[in-house]
């Protein structure tokens, strides 16, 4: 068992779920059936990447405004993650990286609530065709990890 598998096993125990990484060293966590977060070991960066797809942004002025707001959010500190745009799929992606060296499952558990909360706000805004508010990642109410459900095998981000 490698370090990533052990880390996912320990995180699973902490969250009271079973986490089994796939052959690509990735696990998917589904939160409240709204947000799927992929946890993946990035050996080239020596980091654990948390990533979720916010959704496809339709072409036009709305896309321009969403991407502009994403860039503004990326300049905030502290922030719960970073927005990126997948040009091939016209998708907005939200990700966060934690250094793998000495990474503890508790650190991942602490990073998940603000990450999920920000992703939910942006996903909801996108579905309504609205521009999300630009705000610091300090969530008023952190989502509960008890809503966590074991990830189904899904296609990677």
In contact, 123 and 129? CB cutoff 8 Å: no
**Predicted pLDDT of residue 140:** 45
Q: Contact 94/51 with Cβ under 8 angstroms?
A: yes
Q: Where are the domains of the chain?
A: 3-136
Give me the CATH topology for the region 3-136: Yope Regulator; Chain: A, (3.30.1460)
Give the chain's end-to-end CA distance (angstroms, integer).
24
Check whether 115 has a pLDDT greater than 50.
yes
pLDDT band for 117, please (50, 70, 90 cuts): very high
Fill in the DSSP letter of residue 80: S
Q: Per the structure block, which two tokens stand in for 125?
A: 């805004």
Give the model's pLDDT for residue 139.
45
What's the pLDDT score for residue 75? Answer: 93
Q: Residue 79 — very low, low, confident or very high, per pLDDT cuts 50/70/90?
A: confident
Mean pLDDT value of segment 120-128: 95
Given pLDDT bands bounded at 50, 70 and 90, which one contains residue 51? very high
Report the run of H or E that residue 117 belongs to, with start and end. helix 105-128
């Amino acid at each position: 068992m490698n370090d990533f598998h052990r880390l996912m096993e320990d995180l699973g125990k902490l969250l009271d779920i079973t986490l089994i990484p796939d052959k690509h060293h990735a696990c998917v966590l589904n939160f409240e059936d709204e947000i799927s977060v992929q946890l993946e070991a990035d050996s080239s960066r020596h980091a654990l990447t948390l990533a979720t797809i916010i959704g496809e942004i339709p072409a036009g002025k709305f896309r321009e405004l969403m991407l502009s707001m994403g860039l503004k959010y990326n300049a905030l500190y502290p922030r719960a993650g970073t927005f990126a745009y997948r040009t091939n799929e016209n998708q907005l992606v939200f990700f966060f990286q934690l250094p793998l060296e000495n990474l503890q499952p508790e650190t991942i558990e602490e990073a998940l609530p603000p990450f999920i909360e920000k992703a939910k706000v942006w996903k909801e805004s996108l579905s309504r065709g609205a521009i999300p508010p630009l705000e610091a990642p300090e969530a008023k109410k952190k989502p509960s990890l008890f809503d966590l459900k074991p990830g189904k095998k899904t296609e990677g981000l």
